[in-house]
Every structure is written in structure tokens, then in C-alpha cells.
């Protein structure tokens, strides 16, 4: 799979996380914190309702980077995430990635990553570094 990558290229996807998504993630990850699973418990927190696991939301970056940009064959080298606001069940989340830098001699690409809600409020922000074995570079003159 070869495609030309350049700084500024971006991709996005939208997703709502359901109760079933959160419960499945809790089982797979073994993170059964009641803030994610117990409405009565969550009602007594500052959030007033259950919240989606932050790393479940962050997994949208993996989907984007591994399937869209750069896509198949790309391998994570690093991911940094800062959680800026809670994600509630059934909230529409838009995840996006954008190429910040392409290493001049190695098949390594750096990305900015973020998730926002339907009003554009920042939920997660970070960056990622990917190994892209099939990388093609834009011709320089």
C-alpha cells in the first residue's frame, strides 16, 4: 500500500459510545470503575452521570491511524493523550488526526490528535507517532 503523505493531511470519524460499548470495554480492560458502570454512583460525582472510559474514546485514534491515515501497515510508536472534558454515553464524538511532521529520512510520521463534541468543545487532545513502512514523500524541488 503506497500513497503520498504530506503535512496537513487529515482524517476524522464520528462515534457515539453506548452502554454496551462501555460494559464490553470494562470487561476487556478489567477497568470496572463505578464511574463508568453504576449510574447511582456516578450521580454522586461532579459528573452527575456515567462517563465513558477515556482510553475507549482514545481508541478512535487507533482506528483512524490504522485504517485511514496513514492506514494499513502503519504501526504505533507513541501516543500521548490529555483528557480535557468527560465523554458521556451516547454523546457524538468526532475524532481527528492531522499530519504534523514527516521525518526527512525515516518512515516516521507525527500526528496531532483530538476529539471534540458536537459543539466543537475539546474532549481529548494529544499527539501520535507512527512507523509507516511504505511511506512515500512529496517530491522536493
The CATH number of whichever domain residue 91 belongs to comes to 3.10.129.10
Question: Which pLDDT value is given to residue 135?
Answer: 87
Domain for residue 22, yes or no?
Answer: yes
Domain for residue 140, yes or no?
Answer: no
Strand 92-102 and strand 10-16: pairing?
antiparallel
- pLDDT tens, position by position, 12-62: 999 999 999 999 999 999 999 999 999 999 999 999 999 999 999 999 999
Question: Could you tell me the pLDDT band of residue 140, with boundaries at 50, 70 and 90?
Answer: low
- Asked if 83 and 54 count as a contact pair (C-beta separation under 8 A), the reply is yes
How many domains does the chain divide into? 1
Q: List the domain range (segments joined by +) for residue 40.
A: 9-131
Domain for residue 38, yes or no?
Answer: yes
Domain for residue 4, yes or no?
Answer: no
Domain for residue 3, yes or no?
Answer: no
Distances (CA, A) of 71 to 3, 35, 131, 136: 10, 34, 11, 13
- pLDDT tens, position by position, 75-100: 999 999 999 999 999 999 999 999 99
Domain for residue 88, yes or no?
Answer: yes
- pLDDT tens, position by position, 103-139: 999 999 999 999 999 999 999 999 999 999 998 666 5
Does pTM top 0.75 for this prediction? yes
Domain for residue 87, yes or no?
Answer: yes
Domain for residue 137, yes or no?
Answer: no
Question: Which pLDDT value is given to residue 141?
Answer: 47
Question: Which pLDDT value is given to residue 3?
Answer: 74
Amino acid at each position: 500500500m503506497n500513497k503520498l503523505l504530506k503535512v496537513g493531511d487529515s482524517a476524522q470519524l464520528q462515534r457515539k459510545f453506548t452502554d454496551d460499548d462501555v460494559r464490553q470495554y470494562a470487561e476487556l480492560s478489567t477497568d470496572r470503575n463505578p464511574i463508568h458502570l453504576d449510574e447511582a454512583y456516578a450521580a454522586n460525582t461532579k459528573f452527575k452521570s456515567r462517563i465513558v472510559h477515556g482510553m475507549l474514546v482514545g481508541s478512535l485514534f487507533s482506528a483512524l491511524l490504522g485504517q485511514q491515515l496513514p492506514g494499513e501497515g502503519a504501526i504505533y510508536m507513541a501516543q500521548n493523550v490529555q483528557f480535557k472534558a468527560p465523554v458521556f454515553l451516547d454523546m457524538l464524538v468526532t475524532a481527528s488526526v492531522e499530519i504534523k511532521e514527516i521525518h526527512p529520512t525515516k518512515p516516521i510520521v507525527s500526528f496531532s490528535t483530538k476529539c471534540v463534541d458536537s459543539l466543537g468543545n475539546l474532549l481529548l487532545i494529544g499527539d501520535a507517532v507512527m512507523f509507516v513502512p511504505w511511506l512515500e514523500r512529496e517530491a522536493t524541488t
